[in-house]
Amino acid sequence: MADNADASHESLPVRLMQEVEGSYRKTTLLQKRVRELVRGQRPLYETRETNPIAIALEELRRGLIELVADEQPTF
């Protein structure tokens, strides 16, 4: 629990770097989720946070989102 309290005092860019750790998969997942939030989707947890990046990061940290491969087009 102490880690969560400490993390909340760090800046958003620092928390992003710590969570993503250079992972292309996590970066892609966050980008997709932020776009969804900006387009009006609601957060997957109850929050007063309004920053879509912070919301997506917390959803990732909680394991609420995952990267799913896009469907292949059918011809």
Q: Please write the tens of the pLDDT for every residue from 26-58.
A: 898 999 999 999 999 999 999 999 999 999 999
Q: Which residue has the higher pLDDT, 20 or 39?
A: 39
Q: Residue 6: is its pLDDT beyond 50?
A: no
**SS3 of residue 40 by DSSP:** coil
Q: What is the reported pLDDT for 67?
A: 77
CA–CA separation, 75 vs 39, rounded Å? 29
- The domain ranges of the chain are 2-62
